[in-house]
């Protein structure tokens, strides 16, 4: 799975580039579809800034990302229809200096769309949200203009 992010924080955080950032996340989610029977974006939330912890290097790095609610259905056994579930994830659009292997995708650990302030990936890595850059309303306005 190829996951793309922006190289410069200034570009990623600029409101004029919010549409490009949303398209980037949509493309990254689309690239994951081969791993699932079903993977759909239900809703975009806020653009958030935080500090992520990477357990393999015992180090923190800064990152920006959207919270996104997705609907998933795994593909485990062709003879069994797996349940569909929803989750809120943190999808990075930029990360500060860190290993190229440092995670850029985290799933919900608490709260839900518009409420979560801590995300993890189940491997000991996590991100603590420090700041809301753009509200859900601001993000949704850009999405509506993109339609």
More confidently predicted of 64 and 31 = 64
Chain segment 109-147, per-residue pLDDT in tens: 566 788 777 888 888 899 999 999 999 999 999 999 998
Which residues in 11-38 are b (16+ Cβ under 10 Å) and which e?
Answer: ebbeeebbeebbebbbebbeeeeeebee
- Evaluate whether 119 touches 66 at the Cβ level (below 8 Å): no
Chain segment 70-101, per-residue pLDDT in tens: 998 887 777 777 888 888 999 999 999 888 88
As a whole number, mean pLDDT of residues 26-48 equals 90
Give kind and range of the element (H or E) at residue 40.
Answer: strand 36-54
Q: How far is 12 from 94, CA to CA, in rounded Å?
A: 7
Q: How far is 92 from 6, CA to CA, in rounded Å?
A: 9
Give kind and range of the element (H or E) at residue 27.
Answer: helix 18-30
């Amino acid at each position: 799975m190829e996951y793309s992010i922006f190289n410069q924080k200034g570009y990623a955080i600029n409101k004029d580039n919010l549409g490009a950032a949303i398209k980037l996340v949509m493309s990254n989610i689309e690239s994951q579809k081969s791993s699932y029977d079903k993977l759909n974006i239900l809703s975009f939330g806020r653009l958030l800034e935080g500090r992520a912890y990477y357990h393999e290097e015992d180090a923190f790095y800064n990152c920006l990302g959207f919270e996104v609610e997705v609907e998933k259905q795994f593909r485990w056994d062709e003879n069994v229809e797996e349940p569909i579930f929803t989750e809120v994830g943190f999808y990075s659009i930029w990360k500060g200096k860190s290993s190229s292997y440092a995670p850029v995708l985290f799933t919900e650990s608490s709260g839900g769309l518009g409420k979560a302030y801590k995300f993890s990936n189940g491997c000991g890595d996590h991100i603590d949200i420090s700041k809301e850059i753009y509200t859900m309303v601001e993000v949704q306005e850009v999405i509506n203009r993109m339609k």
